[in-house]
Amino acid sequence: MLSSSRRVTIPLPDRSYDVVIGAGLLDQTGSLLREAGLSRPIAVVTDDRVERLYGQCLLASLTAANFAASFHVVAGGEPAKSFATAEELSESLSKAGVDRSSLILALGGGVIGDLAGFVASIFARGIPYVQVPTTVMAQVDSSVGGKTAINLRTGKNLIGSFHQPALVIVDTDTLATLGPRERNEGFAEVVKYGVIADRLLLDEIAKLGTHQLTSVIERCVSIKARIVAEDEKEESGKRALLNFGHTIGHAIESAAGYGKLLHGEAISLGMRAASWLSTKYAGLPEKDHQKLIHLLKQLQLPVVLSDEIATTAVMERVFTDKKFQGGQIRFVLTAEFGSAFVSEKITRPDLESAVDSLRESIV
């Protein structure tokens, strides 16, 4: 392992794994896999753009470490998280001879990580997989924690499983090839971690902007590691705190049509709505609500909902959210940045009002 890299352990019974963070780690993938005791034939799952950028580098690293590897390339973007693509990928794996002795490696952003992880959880009744995330969103959040999923037309991530990776390799150099919009969307999840667990992170992001990310990634992953270790499968309610901004955000993303808004852009809107509800029902000071909005704007994330996305369409999708049980609304609020809690007192009219509040322009 490179001496400049950092390591965070996700401590789970019988299946703990490490998240290795640093620059230039893609070149070290083969040796990091060997170091983790992973010696299986590898099926690399990626999208066409990431394969062009990093496929040869990854293949060279795997070959140097004497791994047999096949590549399975799917179309990029949120629409790839579908039954059709999962079936297509599974057929490709089968034709390549992937079996229970193999390992899937997800190279790409959150879509690829979710899709590859889901297929790994069901192919041959479940095989190991490794995450090699290449976006801010995936590096700070979605590659860690074992949630895998595909979408339905009625809602995001409604079909999925808990399937923890065997290793996560975060090469911060891969962020250099992101466009501004794709890069910025990932900071919605960084803001979320600041709201629910680390208020100082909000101040640091405001100062750092989108640079000097290694320590920021490490802090976000460390927060998620603690929460996942306490509540891996959302049984105690602790892990639900990671959904701050996501209930309404996911509904907006679905109502807009997958691919119209990037995930982080929808979550930015969802966090503004959750913050607004927090001022009404949790005592969050108005000045903190405004601080959050202006931080999101500073990060070039949307804070105003387009009139093209109807409140009724958003609300239809809110109530298909997998976090609701028996119609009971469980919504994450914050009374002060750095902590959060799950409330069961938010009503449907409250949610509608929160969505409508997103129409108000911000100076």
Question: Which residues participate in catalysis according to the annotation?
Answer: 125, 147, 189, 224, 234, 239, 243, 246, 250, 263
Are 217 and 139 in contact, with CB atoms under 8 Å apart? yes
The set of residues, in sequence order, having a beta carbon less than 8 Å from that of 133 and lying 6+ positions away, is: 106, 108, 109, 110, 113, 139, 142, 143, 168, 170
Question: Which amino acid is present at 311?
Answer: T
CB 292 within 8 A of CB 340: no
CB atoms within 10 A of CB 13: 7
User: How many CB atoms are closer than 10 A to CB 7?
Assistant: 12
Rounded to whole angstroms, how far apart are CA atoms 38 and 42? 10
Supply 287's token pair: 């000045």
Instruction: Provide the sign of the torsion angle of the four alpha carbons 74, 75, 77, 78, taken in this order.
Output: negative
Sheet strands (E) in 26-82: 42-47, 69-74
Distance of alpha carbon 154 from alpha carbon 322, whole angstroms: 11
The SS3 call for residue 145 is coil
3-state secondary structure of 214: helix
Q: Token pair for residue 52?
A: 């062009």
Tokens of 308: 């093209």
Spatial CA neighbour of 220 closest among 5, 11, 1, 10: 10
